[in-house]
Amino acid sequence: MSHYSRYEENFKIILLIQLALLLLDVYGLNTNRVHKEQSEADDKSYFAIATMPNTSYSRVFNKTLMNLTQNLFPTKKLNFDLDTLTIELPANGSFSALFLRELCVKLEKKRVLAVFVIGDSPAAFTINMAATYIGIPVLWARGHSGFSPGFRSLVSNY
């Protein structure tokens, strides 16, 4: 394993830990950002990950969140009913009305606590703008030499 790939892997882990800490901060304290239709919606809270298809960020995030809650709060039992909402970015990264419609359907009547966007495509920008507009905190990791081969910049809208 090269030094660069180890650095990139550690950076991804740190990024996921930051996102998990953001969720711990936002969870339950964010009632003014919940959709007005919450009574009609299910009681689950969601964490959205927007990335290219066939990546395992949602599985890694769930493990990270579980480990963080066990290590940071060993005396408390935190019952997170948190489900991962996966948003697949188009392979070519382009924005389309169909993509925006599918995004709105996925977010409709759901309590989304935060969105983690990985990529610098127009579709990733659309997710960032839509989530920011409806008041969902966004952590946007965007590399400028492709979709996610090295996180060169990190933007947080909270």
Taken as a whole, the chain contains a residue count of 158
pLDDT in tens, 115-129: 888 888 888 888 988
- Of the candidates 90, 103, 92, 99, the one whose C-alpha atom is nearest the C-alpha of residue 131 is 103
What's the number of domains the chain is made of?
A: 1
At residue 61's C-alpha, the angle toward residues 58 and 66, to 5°, is 130
**DSSP class of residue 144?**
T
Q: What is the pTM of this model?
A: 0.60
- Of the candidates 131, 140, 133, the one whose C-alpha atom is nearest the C-alpha of residue 112 is 131
Is residue 100 predicted with pLDDT exceeding 60? yes
Yes or no: say if 113 and 137 are a contact pair by the CB < 8 Å rule: yes
Q: Residue 37's domain spans which residues?
A: 3-157
Yes or no: say if 106 and 134 are a contact pair by the CB < 8 Å rule: no
User: What torsion do the CA atoms of 120, 63, 82, 54 make, to the nearest 10 degrees?
Assistant: 40
- Of the candidates 156, 148, 96, 98, the one whose C-alpha atom is nearest the C-alpha of residue 131 is 156
Domain with residue 28: its CATH number is: 3.40.50
Is residue 56 predicted with pLDDT exceeding 60? yes
- pLDDT reported for residue 90: 86
38-47, 49-58, 130-139, 147-156: which range is least confident on average?
Answer: 147-156
Both tokens of 70, joined, read: 């066990």
Is residue 3 predicted with pLDDT exceeding 60? no
The average pLDDT across 92-109 equals 86
